[in-house]
Structure 1
Amino acid sequence: MGLNAALAVHPASGHGAAARIADAVAERLRPAVDRLDLLTATSVEESRALMRSAHAEGLDVLIVLGGDGAAHQGVQFCADHDVALGLVPSGTGNDFARALGTPADALAAADTLAEALRTGTRRVLDLGRLDPGPAGQGAWFATVLCSGFDAAVNARANALRWPSGPRRYDVAILAELAAFRPRPVTLHTDDGVLELDATLVAVGNTPYYGGGVPICPGATPDDGLFDVTVIGAAGRLQLLRLLPGLRTGAHLAHPAVQTLRTRTLRIEADANPAWPAYADGETQGHTPVIATCVPRALTVVAP
């Protein structure tokens, strides 16, 4: 039986970059598979419908051309349908692709992916899963679940139209510094309960968020555990001094930072107002939030 693949294109990713390079990416991938369908969607609902139709026709590999938001949708589908995932990054953050060692250039990534398709190279990864709560089945996440200051930054960055790329997060950080305050947080882990005043909690299945920030530098998606980074009650001046180290991983040495490892985590924060929560850069409502590391939940086509 031949290899049936689909290329899911999110035209708005990377300010239109995905749409501009879709044909060139498809040209590189097509010789490596027996069938390649092009799935172009302008909404999450349309994308999911196209993926379901492709699955009904015997889909083996879903290849996502887009950024972290597009990758997040691909993860949901592939984990739920036992379909392998391939990534060709063309967004502003590309944190999941970065964690997989995928080339940052989309065409180079397509060439690397094509070779992996030809050789049958696969990796099986853990994923995080959020507790379903009253709304139904919980979302999967591949990179980082964050709550607190960093989630507020993520929300503000998503609303900005300028600048693009990692600088958008830098602008959002400066804007949030003026208003954000630490608050009492309770963390329920495998090893017990931790209560403290905190600025942020980041739960890493992989190291990066925010366009390459290694918030959980030691996180690996094949050990069955989350790496959790907690920044305690840091004031604005402390945060300003700590933030430059985030892009190098030096923040772990700061006295306000502590780390832990756990398979499950419940985050509870003082609800006035509730802390926002984001996973893979996508909003997941507010605290309380429960996450579980699920071993071997996703197959990816990657070296």
Structure 2
Amino acid sequence: MRALLVVNPAATTTSARTRDVLIHALASEMKLDAVTTEYRGHARDLARRAAESDDIELVVALGGDGTVNEVVNGLLHHGPDPEGLPRLAVVPGGSTNVFARALGLPNDAVEATGAILDALSTNSDRTIGLGLASGTPGTEDKSVPARWFTFCAGYGFDAGVIGRVEQQRERGKRSTHSLYVRQVVRQLLDEPHRRHGRITLERPGDDPVEDLVVSIVCNTAPWTYLGNRPVYASPGASFDTALDVLGLSRLSTPAVARYATQLLMSTPERGPQGKHALTLHDQTDFTLHSKVPLPFQMDGDHLGVRTSVTFTGVRRALRVIV
């Protein structure tokens, strides 16, 4: 088997020495081409070339959720083809690794590599669904092509938090869970539409849902992790179905306390709920609109602002090693 290993050298939880060990372990079992990414979007370009090649059967992403997202978008550049495209394997190297953990892989890179090699020896894989989003730019001039996401997207409040975190990281701050919590608080204090949101959700055959402040789109559960604690925004979300949505129409102080507690106490059976909470399951097509440009994120990557985002849930989009 010939495989491509895409290595993010900036992965926060793996050292150069650990990466060398992982490369050696994988190379002992297959013909491996290991390439280190050099710029934003490089992982996508590498995966696209692998998808267009005739002999690469497997692409391994070594990095965090951002690296995985780039690799997936490269593999699916010409659209889903589970039987014709190389399979995907993920070695977690980021701070949270939601996608890898949602697949059931260990959060430790060495242990995950062992699990991947075991799965390859028994030809164990699964075909998963993914989300596809295309947006209308806000204040940006450039066009916004459709983009795939693996585990979540957000429009409005939570994307604003992601944007604040990225600003802090550009200033040299480490990506930690405490950093995210601090930015949640700051985003909440600065949110001008806490009591009357600007987001409208539209889907075929149903009345629009207006005045949402928070809109979180999930392709799997959990939505994220706080350390080792899973957080479930949409407990019913699954790689085997289309997309789930959690929308909140109010972020007053009592509402914040209630929904924050529900998120922290969420389980695979129960997530946030209440009169200001909208929950939708297994949605294949819907659009989120806003009268003003709002921040947008996918798989934890802030993508600027949008006035509209259209989502499609695509079942059976890609084969992954598990």
Same fold (TM over 0.5): yes
- Name structure 1 gaps, 5 residues minimum: none
The letter of the residue matching 2:40 is: V
Q: Measure, in 2, the Cα distance between the counterparts of 1:43 and 1:251.
A: 38
Q: Measure, in 2, the Cα distance between the counterparts of 1:149 and 1:124.
A: 32
Match of 1:215 in 2: 233
The letter of the residue matching 1:283 is: H
TM-score norm. by structure 2 comes to 0.84
CA shift for structure 1 position 195: 2.7
Q: Measure, in 2, the Cα distance between the counterparts of 1:75 and 1:94.
A: 15
Match of 2:311 in 1: 291
Stretch deviating more after TM superposition (46-55 or 108-117): 46-55
Deviations, residues 254-297 of structure 1 (Å, cap 9, x unaligned): 432220122111001231xx111111112334130001011111
The letter of the residue matching 2:74 is: F
Q: Measure, in 2, the Cα distance between the counterparts of 1:47 and 1:90.
A: 14
- Which secondary structure state, in structure 2, belongs to the residue aligned with residue 60 of structure 1? strand
Match of 2:297 in 1: 278
Match of 1:206 in 2: 220
User: Structure 1's 210 and 9: CA in aligned 2 closer, same or farther, altered over 3 A?
Assistant: same
1:263 and 2:284 matched: yes
Deviations, residues 68-121 of structure 1 (Å, cap 9, x unaligned): 100101111222362211111110121111211110111100100111111111
139, 142, 151: which one aligns with 2:147: 139
Native 8 Å contact 1:188 1:267 kept in 2: yes
Between Structure 1 and Structure 2, the one with more helix by share is 1
How many pairs are equivalent? 295
Native 8 Å contact 2:7 2:35 kept in 1: yes
1:130 and 2:139 matched: no
CA shift for structure 1 position 20: 4.1
Native 8 Å contact 1:130 1:292 kept in 2: yes
User: Structure 1's 36 and 100: CA in aligned 2 closer, same or farther, altered over 3 A?
Assistant: same
1:73 and 2:70 matched: yes
Q: Measure, in 2, the Cα distance between the counterparts of 1:146 and 1:227.
A: 12
CA shift for structure 1 position 25: 1.3
Q: Measure, in 2, the Cα distance between the counterparts of 1:251 and 1:296.
A: 26
116, 122, 129: which one aligns with 1:113: 116
Match of 1:23 in 2: 20
Match of 1:87 in 2: 90
Deviations, residues 115-174 of structure 1 (Å, cap 9, x unaligned): 111111111011111136682641011111111111111111222233533222111101
Stretch deviating more after TM superposition (133-142 or 66-75): 133-142
28, 37, 43: which one aligns with 2:39: 43
User: Structure 1's 220 and 51: CA in aligned 2 closer, same or farther, altered over 3 A?
Assistant: closer
Identity across matched positions, percent: 29
- Name structure 2 gaps, 5 residues minimum: 79-84, 137-141
Match of 1:178 in 2: 189
CA shift for structure 1 position 66: 0.5
Native 8 Å contact 1:9 1:19 kept in 2: no
The letter of the residue matching 1:37 is: D
User: Structure 1's 246 and 18: CA in aligned 2 closer, same or farther, altered over 3 A?
Assistant: farther
- Which secondary structure state, in structure 1, belongs to the residue aligned with residue 90 of structure 2? strand
User: Structure 1's 42 and 236: CA in aligned 2 closer, same or farther, altered over 3 A?
Assistant: farther
Native 8 Å contact 1:8 1:38 kept in 2: yes
Q: Measure, in 1, the Cα distance between the counterparts of 2:89 and 2:164.
A: 29
Q: Measure, in 2, the Cα distance between the counterparts of 1:132 and 1:4.
A: 36
Match of 1:96 in 2: 99
TM-score norm. by structure 1 comes to 0.89
Q: Measure, in 1, the Cα distance between the counterparts of 2:48 and 2:75.
A: 10
Deviations, residues 219-250 of structure 1 (Å, cap 9, x unaligned): 00112x21111111221342134213323326
Match of 2:55 in 1: 58
